[in-house]
Amino acid sequence: MRLEKRCLNCGKQDERTLSGMSRCQSCADKENRMQRERMDAAPQKRAAKNAAQREWRRMLRERCLCVDCKKQDAYTLNGHARCFECSQKNSIQACKVARATQEKRNINAKARRDQWREDGRCTRCGGVKLPYDLHMTCAICRAKSKAKREDKLAKQDSYYPRRTPGLCYFCLHPVMEGKKVCQRCYDVRMPGMKKARETAWKNNGKHVWRRLNDTMGGKATTQGGNA
């Protein structure tokens, strides 16, 4: 019938079938009307199905039965909705779904940041940066981050009292001569500081001021030294 340009439902021929459609106008209107009726009735059917499922689960919980496998153990007798085995399976599945969702979100976010970086835009909000701004983020995002850090530090009541002259910043013991920390805190933190310093020297070429110096042909270093 399709080759004869007739309706697949009733076999009639009209302007719609002659134009290449598979159904005539009356059959198409009938199917559209039935589709709209099904879509309108779908929320009510879904609500009724959900209500029946909630009632069934409530009945199982009243009888201390697992809502998944209908078994009874110490978990269900203590008021849990699932038995021990089903709880473990549900937790593992939830962790897998959450991990997969987070990985997908991280991949999309990284791709978006890389694209913004290639376009010379802010990697945080995607806004347009100034032509001479070599930072990864724009000035507005940096100002917001700075205000957030300052607000966080201001809310820490124990932050400012630790800046007592003559006392260690970490343990409030007497400080070393010419230092702001005591001997014990100094010995504990020095290995980490050395490692961080070595890593910083290795990544020094990625620093914004080094890239600015390379862009300006060494003028940044010269001006800084003259200052």
Contact residues for 7 (Cβ-Cβ < 8 A; gap 6+): 1, 13, 14, 17, 22, 23, 24, 27
Please compute the mean of the pLDDT values over residues 60-80 and round it to a whole number.
Answer: 88
Q: In percent, how much of the chain has pLDDT > 70?
A: 84
Rounded CA separation 109/120 (Å): 16
pTM for the whole structure: 0.45
- Residue 148: strand, helix, or coil: helix
Residue 40 has pLDDT above 50, yes or no: yes
Residue 47 has pLDDT above 80, yes or no: yes
Residue 57 contacts residue 43 (beta carbons within 8 Å) = no
- For 14-39, the pLDDT digits (tens) are 887 778 888 888 888 888 888 888 88
Residue 224 has pLDDT above 50, yes or no: no
What is the rounded radius of gyration, in angstroms, for the C-alpha atoms of the chain?
A: 34
Higher pLDDT, 144 or 169: 144
93 band by pLDDT with thresholds 50, 70 and 90: very high
